[in-house]
Amino acid sequence: MTRARVISVDAMGGDKGPAPVLGGLNRALRESPDLRFILHGDEAELARFLRKRSFAALRARIELRHTADVVRMADKPSRALREHRGSSMWNAIETVKKGEAAAVVSSGNTGALMAMSVLLLRKAPGIDRPAIAVHWPSSAPHGYNTVLDMGADIRADARNLVQYAVMGAEYARINFGLERPRVGILNVGTEATKGRHDLREALDILLAVSAEDDAGFECVGFVEGTQMFAKGVDVFVTDGFTGNVALKTAEATAAFIRAGLREAFQHTVLSRLAALVAMTSLKRFARRIDPRRVNGGVFLGLNGAVIKSHGSADAVGFEAAVGLAARMAATDFATGVEQRLARINSMTAEERAQHAARHSTERGADE
């Protein structure tokens, strides 16, 4: 049994208790029968769930580790750190730290999960700040773009943004098999003169690196919110404040449209009929933007893969998160990132200045 096929699971963190967690593991196992799980939580409660006949195969692949303590959704990260060492979340992360598993999945409190992960796993070499990456539905052939940071930190300077870009590109390569992911920095316009100084500085560095053959990604420059669902840009880089607002705004837009369509369809007898007939079409589309399938933010930049599943995820959602954990566990994400960042840090001031000069010429005289 290689460590890379063992996944550590916080069975207690989600809004809906252990049921969707076990359902999700069961589904994941059907896809990948060689996975093994170390499950942290209330042993008696978990054992009761596992008695279900459909879980027979799953039982053989699970090691239960008991703890009664649980981090609650309302717990503040600092308090969780002080008072919930030994919780199912803490123990699940610690299992990765000890080298018994290669990735951890939890649908618990995001802030607490990040705080505990940073404390236990520590930041990876070359990384100043970890970031949360999500799959963003798009018209790309593989169906998703990658966006980061979604709120690990509300600030990001040029150096942070460059690290996010390198991590996001590596992540997109692993997850979507993209050979040379196209990376853009989210801004209020695509012109290189736009935006805060930090963004322009990050752009200069990324363009300079991306000009090299072995960069492993292509920097496409500044990109706008309008492009986030399109193909053409694989990785969107932004600070955690902007990313968080963008994600929540997109979710709210989809919910508003969903509610509006439902209401519109109920307006007349004929439209109610149409809705019935249309349901299949609508469901087909809904599957594509189903947040359960998109499910799973990934914490990048730690010594170990940490997958955050949505708090209200069901078995389908949790399965997606476990699949992501298995992919991350099977690859050496950290080494690729470390090497690229080392190259960036070793670029001479002269090399950067050359690129910067070229870009400021392209920008023209107007600022």
Query: What residues make contact with its own copies under the rule CB under 8 A?
Result: 76, 78-79, 137-139, 151, 154-155, 186, 188, 195-196, 224-230, 238, 240-242, 244-257, 259-261, 263-265, 267-268, 270-271, 273-275, 277-278, 280-282, 284-285, 288-289, 366-367
**C-beta of 188 vs 357, nearer to its own copies:** 188
Dist CA 215 CA 180 (whole Å): 8
Instruction: Give the nearest distance from C-beta 224 to its own copies in angstroms.
Output: 5
Q: Check: CB of residue 107 under 8 Å from CB of residue 307.
A: no
Instruction: Give the nearest distance from C-beta 140 to its own copies in angstroms.
Output: 12
Instruction: Give the nearest distance from C-beta 115 to its own copies in angstroms.
Output: 12
Return the structure tokens found at 277: 């007939």
Instruction: Give the nearest distance from C-beta 135 to its own copies in angstroms.
Output: 14
**C-beta of 125 vs 291, nearer to its own copies:** 291
Beta strands in the chain (DSSP E): 6-10, 36-41, 62-66, 103-106, 131-137, 144-148, 182-186, 218-223, 235-237, 297-300, 305-308
Q: Check: CB of residue 107 under 8 Å from CB of residue 310.
A: yes
Instruction: Give the nearest distance from C-beta 268 to its own copies in angstroms.
Output: 8
**C-beta of 65 vs 292, nearer to its own copies:** 292
**C-beta of 279 vs 353, nearer to its own copies:** 279
**C-beta of 51 vs 197, nearer to its own copies:** 197
**C-beta of 48 vs 231, nearer to its own copies:** 231
**C-beta of 3 vs 82, nearer to its own copies:** 82
Question: Which long-range CB contacts under 8 A does 60-64 form with residues at least 24 apart?
Answer: 61/29, 61/35, 61/36, 61/37, 62/25, 62/36, 62/37, 62/38, 63/36, 63/37, 63/38, 63/39, 64/39
**C-beta of 65 vs 182, nearer to its own copies:** 182
Instruction: Give the nearest distance from C-beta 187 to its own copies in angstroms.
Output: 8
| Neighbour-count burial of 338, counting CB atoms closer than 10 A to its CB (0-12 exposed, 13-18 middle, 19+ buried) | middle
Q: Check: CB of residue 305 under 8 Å from CB of residue 325.
A: yes
What are the backbone angles phi and psi of residue 128, rounded to the nearest 5°? -85, -35
Instruction: Give the nearest distance from C-beta 177 to its own copies in angstroms.
Output: 23
To 10 degrees, the CA torsion angle through 256, 257, 263, 264? Answer: 150
> What does 232-254 look like in DSSP terms, one character per residue?
S--EEE--HHHHHHHHHHHHHHH
**C-beta of 222 vs 318, nearer to its own copies:** 222
User: In angstroms, what CA-CA distances link 283 with 72, 226, 258, 287?
Assistant: 33, 25, 12, 6
Instruction: Give the nearest distance from C-beta 30 to its own copies in angstroms.
Output: 28
Instruction: Give the nearest distance from C-beta 265 to its own copies in angstroms.
Output: 5
